[in-house]
């Protein structure tokens, strides 16, 4: 553990791990959530879990949503992220209880906003999303889900029903001690602007996207 020097010259231990900081009511267009804020002292990221209803401990419906400014805020059709966030929030409200962990620091599968935009520019020139990251000398997927597991543990969650098409999320949670009772598909109808991106996610990143079959066969 590293140390820092205080204002009086005394050494004090630097905080590590994930700390719950605040719990605030958050009324939304979907329903009234509790926004529970966390500080990831290891990475310096501020994180938030949106909790709806009495979630209990077992088989909790959850979504681990990677931050995507372009999709979540700007309505980008390059990806399906914004629609997935919308669908996940609606799903937990329909369920009556659940958690959406919004993971900051995951922009562009962990490469950051500007690097993601550079990768998108390369994709506009014909590279796929995997080739674009590699052309920039960046990892294909640099995300870590350890902080998500620690947040779920703090919420008392032991096992989950994970809303995701990505088997790597399931494997990551299991590796961090969270049981995955079920992986719930979160399938968004493709559009002209994201069909190539989605095909690449299925073919090169192992995402489970069976709804693309009809589009592929008719193209």
CA distance 89 to 164: 13
Nearest-5° angle of CA 59, CA 55, CA 26?
135
With contact defined as beta carbons under 8 Å apart, do 162 and 61 qualify?
Answer: no
With contact defined as beta carbons under 8 Å apart, do 33 and 52 qualify?
Answer: yes
Q: Is 83 a catalytic residue?
A: no
Strand pairing category for 32-40 and 60-66: unpaired
Cα separations in angstroms, 73 against 113, 121, 204:
13, 19, 27
Strand pairing category for 159-163 and 179-184: parallel
Nearest CA to 169 among 73, 98, 77, 65? 65
* Catalytic residue (choose from 42, 86, 141, 154): 141
CA distance 159 to 177: 9
β-pair partners for 45 = 40
* Catalytic residue (choose from 109, 143, 150, 199): 143
CA distance 117 to 173: 28
Q: Is 109 a catalytic residue?
A: no
> Which residue numbers are catalytic?
141, 143
């Amino acid at each position: 553990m590293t140390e820092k020097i205080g204002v009086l010259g005394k050494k004090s231990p630097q905080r590590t791990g994930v700390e719950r900081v605040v719990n605030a009511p958050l009324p939304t267009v979907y329903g009234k959530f509790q926004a529970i804020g966390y500080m990831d002292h290891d990475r310096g990221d501020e994180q938030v879990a949106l909790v709806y209803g009495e979630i209990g401990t077992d088989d909790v419906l959850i979504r681990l949503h990677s931050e995507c400014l372009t999709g979540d805020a700007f309505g980008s059709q390059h990806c399906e992220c914004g629609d997935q966030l919308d669908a996940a929030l609606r799903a937990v409200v329909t369920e009556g209880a659940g958690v959406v962990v919004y993971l900051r620091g995951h922009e562009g599968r962990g490469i950051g906003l500007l690097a993601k935009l550079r990768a998108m520019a390369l994709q506009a020139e014909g590279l796929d999303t995997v080739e674009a990251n590699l052309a920039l000398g960046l990892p294909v997927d640099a995300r870590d889900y350890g902080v998500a597991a620690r947040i779920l543990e703090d919420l008392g969650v032991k096992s989950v029903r994970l809303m995701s098409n990505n088997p790597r999320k399931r494997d990551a949670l299991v590796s961090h001690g969270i049981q995955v009772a079920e992986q719930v598909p979160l399938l968004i109808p493709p559009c002209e602007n994201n069909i190539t991106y989605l095909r690449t996610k299925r073919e090169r990143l192992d995402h489970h996207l069976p709804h693309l079959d009809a589009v592929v066969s008719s193209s």
